[in-house]
Structures are given as C-alpha cells and as structure tokens.
Amino acid sequence: MPASTECPPFRLGESRFDQGSFYGRLRHFLDVIDPRTLFVSEKRLNECMNLLDQFKNGTLRPGVTNVQLWEAQKIKQAIIHPDTGEKIPMPFRMSGFVPFGTPVVVGLLLPNQTFASTIFWQWLNQSHNACVNYCNRNASKPTPMSTFFQGYLGAVSSAVTIAVGLNLLVKRAEHFSPATRILVQRFIPFPAVASANVCNVLLMRHTELSEGISVLDDKGNVVGTSKLAARHALMETSLTRVVLPMPVLLLPPLIMAMLERLPLLQKRPRLRLPVHSMVCLCAFGLALPVAISLFPQNSQIHVSELEPEIAAATECKILTYNKGL
C-alpha cells in the first residue's frame, strides 16, 4: 500500500483517519483508547508539545516526518485537555478507560450479588463515568458544577433503583431454577447502566432543547441554531448510550455461562474469578471501540426537518450537527 495512504499529510487538530467510514472511526478510537499513552514520560510529552508548536508557528526543523507529527498529536490529545490545556488525571483519560474501568465491569458482573454489593458497584461505575465525563468535558463554554452534579445524582439513582429492583424481582421469582436465577442476575447490570446513561444525557444536556445547537453547511459554516436538531441529537445520543454498553455487559455473561460448563472450571472453581476478569477485559478492550465506531459523531439532517428560518438561511439541502457521544 502506498505510503501516502498509510500516513496522510499531517493536519493539526484533525484525525489521521477518515471519520466518514466505520473502519476509519475504528482506527481513530483505537488510537484514542491506546493504553500505551499512559506511560509517556513528562519529557516525552514536552517534546511532543514543542514539536506541534513548531509546526503551528512554521518553525518546524527539517527532517521531521508526518509519522512523528501524528504520533506527537496522539500523545498530546491523550494527556492534555484541548480547552483547559491541563493534564487529565490518568484514571480519567480515555486511554485509561479500559484498564481502570475493567475492575468495575468485573464487579458489576459478579454472580450472586447482595443488595449492598449491587449498590456499591453501580455507584462506583457511575462515579467513574462521571469523573471521565467531567475531565473530558467540552470546556470552551462554562458549565455550572450543579449541572454535572445533577446528571451524576440522576445516573446513580436510576442505576441503583433499577439494579436493586430487578434483583429483587429475580429473587422472588419462584419458577426460576437456581442456575437460571444466577444467569438472569448476570444480565441485570445492562438495563441499569443503559438507563443511567440515558438519564445522564437528558439531565446534562436538557438546556440544548431550549437553546438549540449549531447546524453547519457543507463548508463547515454555521447556518444557525436549531432546537429541532437538538432534539434529534439527544435522541441519537441516548440510543448510542444504550448500544455502547451492550457488548461490554452482555458478552461476558454469555461467555462465562459456556465456560463454566467446562470440566476445568467445575473442578477448580477458584479459576472462575481470574477467567471472568480476563473475559471482561477482552470484551471491554475489543468490543468497546467497535461499538463506539458504529456511530459517527457528526450527523446529517435535511433542511425540511428544521425550522423555516434555518431552511431560508442556506441553499444547502443537507446540514450537519455534532450530536456528541
């Protein structure tokens, strides 16, 4: 394959890969969650930032390749917040989402949980998600801490209520055999987490419904602010938040149900926890970027579905908007 295809010309602030295709988005998100960037030294980070500054100022020294520039940008974007310019704490970086989030997923999917352990793991999961969301927030416009706190409380409340409620129903279901009860309980974290994600989106971004979001033409110019586009964006983001945890929270219970039938795990029950942990790690690390890549961050909408003043302000028939994740 030609080198130009493998390494395109460097573009500051843009993705190296085509965001219009699933494969391009997958390669982009594999870069974003690459845990190797967690081990970048302060010296290496400063070198990368200096290299990008030189490119921006037109003082780049001869011999620097596109590969070096793309790698420098990958490292900077993984560690430094684009709006505040501050370092993101390691557990809350996107590159730390899998290694630091896997123990939480393992805890969520443990069989035979008590009400106390269910509440604890749901609370810990939503707390981790809240910290990741806050540390990677769009800080170009100030957002009150009360908005983040409201979203956090809503997510924790809905997750705990649904998880505890479903566990209670399963335990009271007399027609379930013990094996079936354990299997069903393993799937409870998904509806709890999915509903909490939707609740968090609605509470955090409800102001967009009254204020609207920007819609852009084919040249990237802002045509106007649309409340109807905001409604579409929130619906799409809510659907995304439901689909994203599916592979992470549904695959491990299915796989473990099959693996636990193997003679090895039946004879050595102590191996179940480490095997369970490895299954969760693989599902989290492999399925998550695939799930994220299914949805482009920028969506398109026909002007006929927007406000009349938006349609009158442009000759374009199709406009785009950033729906977020």
Could you tell me if 39 and 125 lie in one domain?
A: no
The pLDDT of residue 294 is above 50:
yes
Assess if residue 87 is contained within a domain.
no
pLDDT averaged over every residue in the chain:
87
Could you tell me if 56 and 106 lie in one domain?
A: no
Contact 89, 135 (CB under 8 A): yes
pLDDT digits (tens, 9 = 90+) for 226-267: 999 989 888 888 888 888 888 889 999 999 989 988 999 899
Token output for 84: 């505040």
Could you tell me if 42 and 67 lie in one domain?
A: yes
Q: Helix count (H) and strand count (E) of the chain?
A: 16, 4
Query: Residue 5: its pLDDT value, please?
Result: 47
Q: Whole-prediction pTM value?
A: 0.83
Could you tell me if 102 and 172 lie in one domain?
A: yes
* Euclidean distance between CA atoms 43 and 196, whole angstroms: 40
Could you tell me if 202 and 290 lie in one domain?
A: yes
Could you tell me if 57 and 159 lie in one domain?
A: no
Chain centroid to CA 57: 33
The domain in which residue 76 lies consists of 22-80
Could you tell me if 99 and 67 lie in one domain?
A: no
Could you tell me if 99 and 241 lie in one domain?
A: yes
Could you tell me if 105 and 187 lie in one domain?
A: yes
